[in-house]
């Protein structure tokens, strides 16, 4: 790796910020990944929490979330102005037909088409206007590492799925985790990938080292490295939607990532953080970039009534989400 130039990094961030302002990226979204299940039949990606659960789950059917709970979560996201980042689930947890039905219901709740991140599939024809786009969980910006870290998710199959998604008229997204062993130079590959597969949206995460995985003792990527990656990609792709994930222990990254070109932020335990000092901190981070936040992390009036406005079958879950949001779990 060549010697790091702090001036170069700051210049990239400044240029990316200027470009974002020129493009009118003045509103930052809060993105919530809605999970379908805690089971993944592949379960061998070396960084993933689910890989530590596979042997502990005796009955995969029990790891599936109740559909009414998922729909109640979507209703709460809608009330609070949070975007649904995607519907996500491990392999072989729900069938395509089940996913379609859940997506249709969420579409009617939020009024917005849904992104999917439910694994490599050849059944994209089953989906229609309830789906806005398909996400390929590429995870690594380096194809050789990708084979090692995600042995059961061949990159060529992800790429084929994305190309087919494009042919069918869906938008295309990829996820990239930083801190898995890639280097800044690997961005050349990532740029080519975005160009070749006409990617509309990139979701960056920083490594969250889970206990019991090979990365348990790895450090998260440096904030300036993360910012340099995002600003480099923003400058290369002015129209790309960029979402950046950061965990509660790295909230100070948010401001810098927005200046670097992020359109949205994600990866928080949203209901747990709502109304707490951490929720307020996220809003402060956004405020100090001069952008506005779409939705709220603190306004309790937006939680709404304890009854569902969609169906009485969701009431018990709505009530629980509201009560959880009003509890301060960080005291």
Q: Which residues bind ligand SF4 (CB under 6 A)?
A: 40, 42-43, 45, 48, 50-51, 90-91, 137, 150, 153
Of 92 and 329, CB closest to ligand SF4: 92
Provide the 8-state DSSP code for 222: P
Least separation, in Å, of the C-beta of 278 and ligand SF4? 25
Provide the 8-state DSSP code for 218: P
Of 48 and 244, CB closest to ligand SF4: 48
- Host H or E run for residue 205: strand 201-206
- The alpha carbon dihedral of 188, 216, 278, 322 has a sign of positive
Least separation, in Å, of the C-beta of 76 and ligand SF4? 24
Rounded Cα gap, residues 241 and 18, in angstroms: 16
Of 137 and 227, CB closest to ligand SF4: 137
Of 52 and 223, CB closest to ligand SF4: 52
Of 53 and 101, CB closest to ligand SF4: 53
Least separation, in Å, of the C-beta of 166 and ligand SF4? 22
Rounded Cα gap, residues 290 and 21, in angstroms: 10
For residue 52, the tally of other CB atoms under 10 A from its CB is: 14
Of 43 and 304, CB closest to ligand SF4: 43
- The alpha carbon dihedral of 191, 235, 201, 244 has a sign of positive
The tokens of 192 are what?
Answer: 């080519």
Least separation, in Å, of the C-beta of 13 and ligand SF4? 30
Of 42 and 172, CB closest to ligand SF4: 42
Least separation, in Å, of the C-beta of 14 and ligand SF4? 35
Rounded Cα gap, residues 144 and 204, in angstroms: 19
Residue 238 near residue 194 (C-beta atoms within 8 A): no
Least separation, in Å, of the C-beta of 329 and ligand SF4? 26
Contacts with 97 (C-beta within 8 Å, 6 or more apart), sequence order: 126
Least separation, in Å, of the C-beta of 322 and ligand SF4? 29
Query: DSSP per residue over 138-204, as a string?
Result: EE-SSHHHHHHHSTTS-HHHHHHHHHHHHHTT-EEEEEEEETSS--GGGHHHHHHHHHHTT--EEEE
Of 77 and 180, CB closest to ligand SF4: 180
Least separation, in Å, of the C-beta of 138 and ligand SF4? 11
Find the farthest-apart pair of alpha carbons in the chain and give their distance in angstroms, rounded.
Answer: 61
């Amino acid at each position: 790796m060549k010697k790091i130039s702090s001036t170069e990094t700051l210049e990239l961030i400044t240029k990316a910020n200027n470009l974002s302002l020129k493009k009118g990226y003045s509103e930052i979204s809060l993105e919530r990944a809605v999970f379908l299940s805690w089971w993944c039949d592949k379960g061998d990606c070396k960084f993933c929490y689910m890989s530590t659960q596979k042997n502990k789950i005796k009955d995969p059917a029990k790891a599936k979330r109740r559909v009414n709970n998922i729909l109640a979560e979507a209703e709460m996201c809608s009330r609070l102005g949070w975007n649904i980042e995607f519907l996500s689930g491990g392999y072989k947890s729900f069938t395509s037909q089940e996913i379609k039905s859940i997506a249709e219901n969420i579409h009617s709740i939020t009024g917005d088409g849904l992104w999917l991140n439910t694994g490599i599939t050849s059944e994209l024809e089953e989906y229609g206007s309830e789906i806005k786009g398909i996400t390929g969980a590429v995870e690594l910006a380096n194809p050789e590492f990708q084979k090692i870290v995600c042995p059961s998710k061949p990159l060529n199959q992800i790429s084929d799925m994305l190309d087919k998604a494009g042919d069918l008229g869906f938008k295309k997204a990829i996820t990239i985790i930083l801190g898995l062993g890639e280097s800044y130079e690997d961005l050349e590959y990532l740029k080519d990938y975005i160009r070749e597969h006409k990617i509309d949206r990139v979701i960056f995460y920083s490594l969250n080292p889970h206990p019991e995985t090979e990365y348990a003792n790895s450090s998260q990527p440096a904030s300036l490295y993360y910012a340099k990656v995002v600003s480099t990609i923003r400058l290369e792709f002015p129209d790309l939607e960029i979402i950046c994930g950061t965990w509660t222990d790295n909230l100070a990254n948010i401001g810098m990532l927005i200046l670097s070109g992020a359109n949205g932020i994600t990866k928080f335990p949203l209901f747990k953080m709502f109304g707490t000092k951490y929720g307020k901190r996220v809003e402060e981070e956004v405020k100090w970039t001069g952008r506005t936040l779409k939705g709220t992390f603190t306004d309790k009036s937006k939680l709404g009534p304890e009854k569902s406005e969609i169906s009485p079958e969701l009431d018990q879950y709505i009530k629980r989400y509201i009560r959880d949001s009003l509890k301060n779990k960080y005291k």
